[in-house]
Chain A
């Protein structure tokens, strides 16, 4: 049974043009990620905070001989041609359909925004209601010297005759996999 917050989060994301999937297990997640990976020909970037799900996903993707690169704060190899990045955000906001990442280096930032496709994997229990619930979290991250990046749907513009076009600079396609249950 989906909670009210989760339903709201999914509705908002879909209104924004993001695709959402609820995953009940690592197998479930892997299945969805594999479906996405099929259309990608380049190395896949993995970014965000390390969680148990992240470790398991990396392990399984490597087992499948998938070409992946885990982005760390001190990564130095360029990422110019990556088509897909998979990120593990810190938090999400249901009422706005937002995922929130932390980063402390340019390469972490670039790995989220540069590829054509971005997929976020987040646990249901990291979803808050709206920005007013963030005060302590944001201050905490900033105190630790980490910047925060909110993503609410795909990159978009209405600069030409008001027509909304997706994917101006940031990702054109945006996926959110929600882990229903344990921490992602």
Chain B
């Protein structure tokens, strides 16, 4: 089945129940309550720990080998999954193992170990409840922490009813009791335990496991043989490193200060007595390369090796939350699943990367500050160059030319864009879904309006508007310019290219780099003359501060990023006290505010909410996530974008309409389009609400 068909199938299955989203929202709610306990300094420290662990990997492997030898355990490095599976199978055969209990199975999922063992008639029991459910259902996990998050309790009960051969009620409590009873016998009988590891400590050979169920503990307590299957990147240098990471892992993963069970497990344990005899437990650590060592040399994606598998990125990813990991993933799923699939399973398995809408929420959520949206665009680029870019994306790559062309005859273009026939033609030949309303072109573009207004040729602010405001909503820019002018600034409108986000979004990185290069050169020369860059569109600002420095890796791009501000962020820098002097009060106005994904003030504050509140508005706000449109992504027909985008937006609008605002307000022109399409409430840009005190 093609990707877009799989998308439509899942959307129809999850319609109105949103199982992935609801499970992730529950975790996010718990996480929000305690995440402020983690300092930015600690996060930086942990990032450094992971950077150093990857940098010193060879030395750490040797230290670990020595530590394990001293404790009577063995270290094997497997080049790939096949080699790791072969080692496990050899040990099973050597000791006549017939039953294996597993826990912390993500890495063994990666190498699909169960298939190999089962083909040799070895019974394999996944002991984590979620893993067990998907194992019995013959599925892959849909979430790296909640493998069965996509299922309802009725579906789970059906699986166990079939397995036990008697009715099991759809009651999680009852299901847990049944599994508990069955597994107690399995633990005692198993000839081998296979576990993953959250961390492995090079200096002493301890493996660290973090779980909530305690399945790992019982699997290990009884097993005479223990095999650890983990990626090489799990090695850290010291106990201290692990204690630092433990401060952030459970808080981010499940919203707990610490998971129910954490163990620092040494390999020199005595095995549980069998036939009243004690014997040392045989322990083998199999560390898997499977593409990791190559990724370590790959400048563009290396930082994904710092991932601690907290799944924060899955919690917030809008398309993933709509379709789940069976579509948005291979074995690793969600945002982190894109590069991990490329590393472990090859580029050819990453076609699902097209579902990433580059909203960037994953980066914001990642405690290690891994630049996932950029890395994912790199994967899309590599996929596109090797296997061909999707034809829709190739057409939409020309978005700037299409808009510029249409703007030459705005009235005619608007008429055409409103005709059903033209929309059907556009759907067929360009791929823009005919159900998606498009914004109207302004009769005069911003450049023309500014020329008529006779604003100064020289100033101290470059107001960067990007494409949509320039051609469709120039009034907002005029209002912004007047506000800045009232505050004593002089504005120029630059002849910049569009920010290039659609190119980044679809992985046309060479084209994006060219645009970034042009814009940076232009802005840098102005900054040298003392200008400050102020962007009206959050996405333009995101490109200037996040993507351009990554794309160009130049000093100039860094300087441009440092000297660029979002419009409302800049107003905050001036001071709300000064700003409110030049604007009329919004007292008595009740608004529901939507925070666009790309609105990221340097100080982490929600500046537009502050702005509206400073003017006296009552602001209702609930942080849920992306509106779903994400530029041209949500315009693409059917399962390519539109239907997922609508489903994301529908949930958001349902929640927003309950909050109590008279308007939905947001500073992103794209988010506004989505809300205008889906909400019964009027939707406004903040600049449409405010009026200058002196002039208007």
Contacts and interface: CB of A to CB of B under 8 A. Distances in A.
Contacts of B256: 152
B239 A113 contact: no
B258 A107 contact: no
B409 interface: no
A160 B148 contact: yes
Interface stretch (A34-42, A60-68, A132-140): A132-140
A78 B273 contact: yes
Given A110-B272, A147-B206, A159-B147, A165 B173 contact: yes
B175 interface: yes
B553 interface: no
Contact of B179 (A139, A146, A168): A168
A152 B262 CA distance: 8
B175 A160 contact: yes
Interface stretch (B104-112, B211-219, B492-500, B585-593): B211-219
Nearest to B133: A159
A23 interface: no
Interface string B206-232: 100000111101101111000000000
Contacts of A155: 212-214, 260-261
B129 A138 contact: no
Interface stretch (A49-57, A69-77, A119-127, A176-184): A69-77
Contacts of B146: 158-159, 162
Contact of B222 (A103, A110, A163): A110
B172 A161 contact: yes
A24 B371 CA distance: 54
Tell me what chain B mostly uses at the interface: helix, strand, loop, or mixed: mixed
B213 to A, nearest CB: 4
Nearest to B207: A147
A148 B263 contact: yes
B23 A131 contact: no
B22 interface: yes
Nearest to B215: A169
A114 B184 contact: yes
Contact of A73 (B19, B71, B244, B270): B270
B243 to A, nearest CB: 5
Contacts, number: 194
A142 B321 CA distance: 41
Given A138-B243, A142-B206, A169-B217, A106 B212 contact: no
A105 B19 CA distance: 41
Interface residues of A, number: 58
Nearest to B205: A142
How big is chain B's contact interface, by range?
A: 35 or more
B518 to A, nearest CB: 48
Contacts of A146: 266
A73 B280 CA distance: 12
A95 interface: yes
**Which of A77, A131, A147, A169 has the most chain B CB atoms closer than 10 A to its own CB?**
A169
A170 B217 contact: yes
B691 interface: no
A145 B71 contact: yes
B243 A149 contact: no
Contact of B260 (A138, A161, A163, A170): A170
A105 B270 contact: yes
Interface in B162-179: 172-173, 175-176, 179
A110 to B, nearest CB: 4
Given A80-B188, A167-B180, A169-B218, A162 B268 contact: no
Contacts of B265: 147
A157 B130 contact: yes
B606 interface: no
Contacts of B239: 135, 138-139, 142
A75 B273 contact: yes
Interface of B: 19, 22-23, 26-27, 71, 127-130, 133, 146-149, 151-153, 156, 172-173, 175-176, 179-180, 183-184, 188, 201, 204, 206, 212-215, 217-218, 220-223, 239-240, 243-244, 246-247, 254, 256-266, 268-273, 276-278, 281
Q: Closest 7 A-B residue pairs measured CB to CB?
A: A170-B214, A106-B272, A159-B130, A105-B270, A109-B221, A110-B221, A150-B262
